Amino acid sequence: MAAHADLALAEQCRAHLPGAFEQLYRAHAPRLFGLACRMVGRHEAEDLLQEVFLTAHRKLGMYRGESSLGTWLFRLATNHCLDHLRSKRARFAALTDELETEPVAAGASSGAVVGVVDRMDLERALASLPPGCRTVFVLHDVEGCEHQEIAALLGIADGTSKSQLHKARMRLRGLLGSAGGVRGSN
């Protein structure tokens, strides 16, 4: 159940109490913007964040408090990002399919050693992953979602979520092991 404060804030937003929706925005926008930046890229994340909060404003009447407002908004934002990626994928289907089916290149004996992982390098490397495994990595490793939850969000099997995560980590390991290339790609 959502906390009493969430229900109260949702009620204030529905009643158009001055400042209520801004309070909701200030509390949740940074996390949702981080999610969108990592899933679709910073350039498009601003538009998506706007869309998410406009949708939230329209749909707040449907919020019944079964989950926290943060979770409700997170699902809304994830779905917006996924819709965006799907429409993009439809436009570039051939290229994306090729990337998605490419096997993991880095092997255990490849010698790529990450060392201390710099956050900025990781953000840059993330942007170069194919959307499928990047989405799973962001949801699992950055946002802390469980595979079951990710599978439900993406409409895939738990096992697929696990294998995509492994693929993402191994690719990132390879990219960060040759960090010069990663820096040059962005």
Instruction: Tell me whether residue 29 or residue 152 sits nearer to another protein (CB atom).
Output: 29
Is 100 a binding residue for another protein by CB under 8 A? The answer is no
State which of residues 16, 90, 94, 101 lies at the interface with another protein (CB under 8 A).
Answer: 16
State which of residues 76, 114, 154, 179 lies at the interface with another protein (CB under 8 A).
Answer: 114
State which of residues 2, 73, 151, 172 lies at the interface with another protein (CB under 8 A).
Answer: 172
Is 72 a binding residue for another protein by CB under 8 A? The answer is no
Is 65 a binding residue for another protein by CB under 8 A? The answer is no
Is 17 a binding residue for another protein by CB under 8 A? The answer is yes
79: closest CA among 47, 43, 39, 42? 39
Is 54 a binding residue for another protein by CB under 8 A? The answer is yes
User: SS3 string of 58-114?
Assistant: HHHHHCCCCCCHHHHHHHHHHHHHHHHHHHHHHHCHHHHHHHHHCCCCCCCCCCCCC
Is 157 a binding residue for another protein by CB under 8 A? The answer is no
Instruction: Tell me whether residue 153 or residue 170 sits nearer to another protein (CB atom).
Output: 170
21: closest CA among 60, 72, 77? 60
Cα separation of 129 and 161, whole Å?
A: 15
Cα separation of 120 and 141, whole Å?
A: 16
State which of residues 122, 129, 150, 151 lies at the interface with another protein (CB under 8 A).
Answer: 122
